[in-house]
């Protein structure tokens, strides 16, 4: 039987690429995000491969999130694979200059949003005693870099939550995976720097990971046999050794 995946942050970058990858493998999709126009055009592009349903909500809004997921009609209401991908960095400032609005956004979206979505989906997985949750962490969840403070903290939290979920959901046979990329060329830096000017510099001088590279890894994780769970995976571009060591050529 065909599986159904719910992907948060499906309107761009890693989430969108994962939607395309899954669709081509016949996985039915529930695509989530705040930008409705994009959800509609991705749905249109993918409907020839699989069944697609869109949910337009902000993961940081608890009521909206729970209501949206509760509204899913059959057969989309039965989720086999949850990709907790929605998230972003907001700002890159030393802690004493950081903006409280940026901190709130990262904590509300990257941590609390992931929890709200998980809370809405996990009960059906425990009831069915099956399911796969993939949390998109980051290399920033494994090491802290200068000015990364709150973003790094939010991604460390994603890793802690992934481990906690894996332990607590173990009796139910539910797989829990963290996929932790280094630099991926998406809209991530446009959001972090609130525009293109600074963002354009981030991926210059080396070949960054592309969203499709991560989508392939996510598909690899979900397509392993039932007894195999990729627990935690760290992936860098070849030019990157850690958060601050990047071989650039100009
Ligand atoms: P993008 O900015 O391209 O995508 C972010 C996605 O998250 C968008 O679809 C956006 O949709 C969604 N999103 C953001 N805020 C909210 C919100 N409040 N409610 C619902 N959806 C939201 O970046 P990436 O694809 O790179 O990021 C995806 C994930 O990968 C993030 O968790 C990020 O932290 C992580 N990551 C990224 C890396 C990188 O270098 N790019 C490296 C490591 C991890 P919309 O705006 O339509 O709501
Ligand atoms: C995104 C990668 O290095 O910009 O999580 O934090 S980094």
14-47 residue pLDDT tens: 999 999 999 999 999 999 999 999 999 999 999 9
74-118 residue pLDDT tens: 999 999 999 999 999 999 999 999 999 999 999 999 999 999 999
What is the distance between the alpha carbons of residues 82 and 30, in angstroms, rounded to a whole number?
10
191-216 residue pLDDT tens: 999 998 899 999 999 999 999 999 99
- CATH architecture entry for 4-235: 3-Layer(aba) Sandwich (3.40)
What is the distance between the alpha carbons of residues 126 and 58, in angstroms, rounded to a whole number?
25
226 Cα to the center of ligand 2, angstroms: 31
Q: What ipTM was reported for this prediction?
A: 0.99
- For 190, the 3-state DSSP assignment is helix
What is the distance between the alpha carbons of residues 73 and 28, in angstroms, rounded to a whole number?
13
What is the distance between the alpha carbons of residues 107 and 215, in angstroms, rounded to a whole number?
24
Atom of ligand 2 at shortest distance to CA of 183?
2
Atom of ligand 2 at shortest distance to CA of 151?
6
Ligand 2 probe mutation, 138, 234, 237, most atoms within 8 A of CB: 138
Entry field: residues in the chain? 250
- The catalytic residue positions are 151
| Nearest listed ligand to the Cα of residue 136 | 1
**C-alpha closest to that of 84 among 37, 43, 40, 117:** 117
Name residue, tokens 């525009």.
195
pTM for the complete prediction?
A: 0.98
> Ligand 1 site: residues with CB under 6 angstroms?
8-15, 33-35, 58-60, 85-88, 109, 113, 136, 138, 181, 183-184, 186-188, 191, 211
Burial of 171 (0-12, 13-18, 19+ CB in 10 A): exposed
């Amino acid at each position: 039987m065909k599986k159904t995946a719910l992907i948060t942050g499906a309107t761009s970058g890693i989430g969108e690429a994962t939607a395309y990858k899954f669709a081509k493998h016949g996985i039915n999709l529930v695509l989530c995000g705040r930008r409705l126009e994009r959800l509609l055009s991705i749905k249109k592009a993918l409907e020839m491969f699989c069944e697609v349903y869109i949910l337009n909500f902000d993961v940081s809004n608890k009521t909206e999130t729970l209501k949206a997921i509760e509204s899913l009609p059959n057969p989309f209401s039965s989720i086999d694979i949850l990709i907790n991908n929605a998230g972003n960095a907001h700002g890159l400032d030393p802690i004493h200059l950081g903006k409280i609005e940026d901190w709130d956004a990262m904590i509300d979206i990257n941590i609390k949003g992931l929890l709200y979505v998980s809370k809405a989906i996990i009960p059906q997985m425990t009831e069915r005693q099956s399911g796969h949750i993939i949390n998109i962490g980051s290399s920033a969840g494994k090491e802290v870099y200068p000015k990364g403070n709150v973003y790094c903290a939010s991604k460390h939290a994603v890793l802690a939550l992934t481990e906690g979920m894996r332990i607590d959901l173990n009796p139910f046979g539910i797989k829990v995976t963290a996929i932790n990329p280094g630099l991926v060329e998406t809209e991530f830096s446009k959001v972090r720097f609130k525009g293109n000017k600074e963002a354009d510099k981030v991926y210059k001088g080396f070949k960054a990971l592309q969203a499709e590279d991560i989508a392939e890894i996510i598909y690899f994780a979900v397509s392993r046999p039932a007894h195999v769970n990729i627990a935690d995976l760290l992936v860098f571009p070849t030019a990157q050794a850690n958060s601050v060591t990047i071989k650039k050529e100009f």
